[in-house]
């Protein structure tokens, strides 16, 4: 079943969406803005103890890698 599972974290959909926005941003500025939104989300989730510090750190790494990859592609286009 492809629907939402009870094991799926509530912030997963938003996180995946923000990662996709970073990866598909047409400009470096837009990629950076989406990364900022992702960082705000992570801080909010950690502040409300919705996710652990380790999960927040892992999300930051994913966002950083997505941002660096997108910026590299934009710079070399």
51-76: per-residue pLDDT in tens? 999 999 999 999 999 999 999 999 99
Domain containing 27: what range?
12-75
Total of domains in the chain? 1
Q: Residue 36: inside a domain, yes or no?
A: yes
Q: Residue 2: inside a domain, yes or no?
A: no
Q: Residue 71: inside a domain, yes or no?
A: yes
15-49: per-residue pLDDT in tens? 899 999 999 999 999 999 999 999 999 999 999 99
Q: Residue 6: inside a domain, yes or no?
A: no
Q: Residue 25: inside a domain, yes or no?
A: yes
Give the chain's length. 77
Q: Residue 23: inside a domain, yes or no?
A: yes
Q: Residue 1: inside a domain, yes or no?
A: no
Centre a 10 Å sphere on the Cβ of residue 63 and count the other Cβ atoms it contains.
22
Angle subtended at Cα 24 by Cα 70 and Cα 43, rounded to the nearest 5 degrees: 75
Whether the CB-CB separation of 39 and 60 falls below 8 Å is answered with yes
Q: Residue 4: inside a domain, yes or no?
A: no
Q: Phi/psi class of residue 49: alpha, beta or left (left: φ > 0; alpha: ψ in -120 to 50)?
A: left
Chain centroid offset of residue 11 CA? 10
């Amino acid at each position: 079943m492809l629907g939402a599972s009870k094991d799926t974290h509530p912030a997963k959909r938003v996180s995946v969406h923000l990662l996709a926005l970073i990866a598909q941003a047409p400009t470096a500025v837009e990629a950076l803005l989406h990364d900022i939104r992702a960082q705000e989300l992570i801080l909010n989730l950690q502040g409300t103890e919705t996710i652990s510090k380790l999960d927040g750190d892992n999300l930051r790494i994913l966002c950083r890698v997505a941002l660096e990859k997108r910026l590299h592609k934009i710079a070399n286009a």
